[in-house]
Copies of this chain bind each other. A is one copy, B any other.
Amino acid sequence: MNLASYMKDRQALVDRGLNRLLPAARPLKLHRAMRYSLLAGGKRLRPLLLMASAECCGTPAARVLEAACAFECLHTYSLIHDDLPALDNDDLRRGRPTCHKAFDEATAILAGDGLLTFAFELLARCGRRAGDRRALEAVALLARAAGSRGMIGGQTADLEAEGRRLDAAGLSYIHTHKTGDLLTASVECGAVLAGAPPARRAALRDFGRRIGLAFQIADDILNVEGSQAKLGKKVGSDAELRKATYPALFGVEKSKRKARQELQAGLKRLEPFGRAAEPLRALARFVVERDH
């Protein structure tokens, strides 16, 4: 399969969906800020994983579009709040001024809140096509993965770890929750909305967990080795803040090996799905081997 054309096609679907679904009317400034951050490009990795997972269970991508967009709203809100002066204090994101730089801090806080809330509004709409039970399960999944024992917990631990020595267990907690939980949930959500039987759902969840970890390790390595132009943010900023990262703890070579191992173990869980899992396999490889 041709991953580039697959991604381009699904990304266009998501971009059109976001543009259509997101409110634009009053209050204008708030909706401009939400759209500014949401429609700034980006790989749409979580929506793509969700759609590929649904496809792998026999449900066309377009039928889970609202849920895919919900995950992107959730992800974008987390970036907006993470970039705030009180948190990471970043001026650039995807090569453009961050939301609080382009607007102001109050608007950025509220735009993040708005996107987080809108994610659940979108999931609630999935009931029409996927049925109420599956949609409600998607709500539960996202809330748990994005909550204080999930993504927000990981963000908190990451902030607390700045400037401190962190052991492998501490680093694993941050990676598992800060980025891993949402990536895992996006894969599992595709399976849930497609009505996958429990064993297949569990396989996809484990695939998601491994890909999530590999993604984060790859991200850490890129932060050491990448170029600013490709990343759209300052390279080496993690080291500057003395943030805990895989390469800092285990070295670059061992980190790369770990990422490949997780990828292989994840791909193994896709074997029962046969050809239907091709997009998911290609995305998994892309996640680990990408250079930006």
Contacts and interface: CB of A to CB of B under 8 A. Distances in A.
A156 B120 contact: no
Judged by DSSP, the binding face of A is helix
A152 B114 contact: yes
Interface in A140-199: 140, 142-144, 146-149, 152-153, 155-157, 159-160, 173
Given A23-B148, A118-B143, A124-B143, A156 B109 contact: no
Interface stretch (A8-16, A127-135, A217-225, A226-234): A127-135
- A114, A149, A152, A155 pick with most chain B CB within 10 angstroms: A152
Given A132-B132, A149-B23, A29 B156 contact: yes
B155 A143 contact: no
A113 B27 contact: no
A290 interface: no
Contacts of A125: 140
Given A124-B136, A139-B136, A107 B148 contact: no
A267 interface: no
Interface residue range, chain A: 35 or more
B106 A86 contact: yes
Contact of A113 (B26, B140, B152): B152
A121 B109 contact: no
B148 A117 contact: yes
A31 interface: yes
